[in-house]
Chain A
Amino acid sequence: MAHGSRGGTAVYLAVFAGLLALTVVTVLASYVDMGLMNVVVALLIASVKASLVALFFMHLKGESRLVWGFALVPLFFLALIILGTLVDTQLR
């Protein structure tokens, strides 16, 4: 049970500012036609935002390896589901 730090507020505000900035960037990037790269850029930015939320707001940064396992294993299964489905639908 980690106790709240006095620096906590500053970190949260910095993360918040980062999330806002990335939202602006992703909206602006969507107006530039980059073909297939638009999706790639949008997903990359979304993943950076998601990592910021998970690491700092959800406190994953200071968590034990057990909690990290609980957080990452479902993502592995999600990747498996998407890839497995695509192998079927794309190569049919």
Chain B
Amino acid sequence: MSGGHSAEHHDPVVAFEAAKLGVWTFLATEVLLFGALFTAYTVFRLKFPELFHAEHEKLNRVLGAVNTVVLITSSLTVALGIDAVKRGKARLLQWYFGATIALAGVFLCVKYVEYSEKFHHGLFPGTNIFFSLYYMMTGIHGIHVIAGMGVLGYILVLARRGRFSEAYYTPVEMVGLYWHFVDLVWIYLFPLLYLAG
């Protein structure tokens, strides 16, 4: 890095690193937001093990697994999109981020099917503590998916206007970090809610 007299705030490398730390700080607050819910889950699971075991079997493991694959694939397309813009293929970035938004849409559709199936069987957020946690955790995660579609869409619009190149792709990388985090949360939600009773 430059040790000269140039204003360091305008050094693109410094700006990139600063933006990255900003996103990681935001993700730290997100860890604590979901962390509170994971704590509640742990406490009540230890308190009512039989209830958790009986109730978790009412969730559709196959649909949960399908959505896991959908989110993992959407993380891959984000990673490939960032890799593409780094190599100067800005057009490819648009395809990959478009695919990511489509996959996020698929995730929400599957979630919708699951929720309506549960409602149909009389399983509501107020039914018992397991379903309270299920709706709260997957609901807040779902809001993050919707927010993710918003910021991914914004990147897509900027990309269409030709704003990114191998020389400048900071917002693309930052949104990517956020999207991978949304995937990370689901990686824990899926086994805790659907699999381990």
Contact = CB atoms under 8 A, between A and B. Distances in A.
B161 interface: no
Contacts, number: 130
A70 B191 contact: no
Interface in B1-24: 12-13, 16-17, 20-21, 24
A39 B86 CA distance: 40
B184 A54 contact: yes
Nearest to B89: A4
Contact of A26 (B80, B84, B177, B195): B195
Contact of B80 (A12, A74, A86): A12
Interface in B62-108: 65, 68-69, 72-73, 75-76, 78-80, 82-87
Interface residues of B, number: 53
Interface string A63-92: 010110011011101100110011001100
B24 A70 contact: yes
A1 B82 CA distance: 12
Interface string B41-77: 0110011000000000000010001001100110110
A20 B73 CA distance: 9
Interface string A43-73: 1011001100110111000001011001101
A30 B61 contact: yes
If over half of B's interface residues share one DSSP class (helix, strand or loop), that class is named, otherwise mixed; here it is helix
B188 A57 contact: no
A1 B194 CA distance: 39
A53 B75 contact: yes
A86 B39 CA distance: 8
Given A4-B86, A50-B188, A58-B180, A39 B196 contact: yes
Interface of A: 1-4, 6, 8-9, 12-13, 15-16, 19-20, 23, 26-27, 29-30, 38-39, 42-43, 45-46, 49-50, 53-54, 56-58, 64, 66-67, 70-71, 73-75, 77-78, 81-82, 85-86, 89-90
